[in-house]
Structures are given as structure tokens and as C-alpha cells.
């Protein structure tokens, strides 16, 4: 089972896109263990759209 659900990942990505804060500060704000995970979600979202976050 995935640790983070689709709605959570989408909220994190949209927060990043709306505020233009860095990966590290967004990861801390949402208590994501590793900022590189946030970076992967954002890159996937920008490349393939929000459906990729459902995987």
C-alpha cells in the first residue's frame, strides 16, 4: 500500500506550484520524509499530468 494517497500528493504539488517555495520547505511543511520525493511528484505532474500521481 502506498504511504501517500493521490489527494495528499496533489495537494503538495499544487502547494509548490502556487507558492513557488522550494522542495525542502514544502517537504517540511507537509512532513514528507524526503524532499526528493516531492521533487519526483512535481516533475511527474508537470510531465504527465495529475493522473500519474494515482500510481
Instruction: Kindly list the domain boundaries of the chain, sorted by start residue.
Output: 6-54
Question: CA 18 from chain center: how many Å?
Answer: 12
Evaluate whether 6 touches 45 at the Cβ level (below 8 Å): no
Residues of the chain with pLDDT under 50: 1
Nearest CA among 52, 53, 55 for reference residue 7: 53
Say what the pLDDT of residue 17 is: 93
Say what the pLDDT of residue 29 is: 95
Task: Please state, in angstroms and as integers, the Cα–Cα distance from residue 55 to each residue in 23, 25, 29, following that order.
Answer: 21, 24, 23
Say what the pLDDT of residue 2 is: 67
Question: CA 38 to CA 30: how far, in whole Å?
Answer: 10
Amino acid at each position: 500500500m502506498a504511504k501517500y494517497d493521490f489527494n495528499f500528493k496533489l495537494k503538495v504539488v499544487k502547494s509548490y506550484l502556487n507558492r513557488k517555495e522550494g522542495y525542502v520547505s514544502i517537504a517540511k511543511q507537509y512532513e514528507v520524509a524526503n524532499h526528493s520525493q516531492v521533487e519526483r511528484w512535481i516533475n511527474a505532474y508537470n510531465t504527465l499530468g495529475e493522473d500519474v500521481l494515482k500510481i
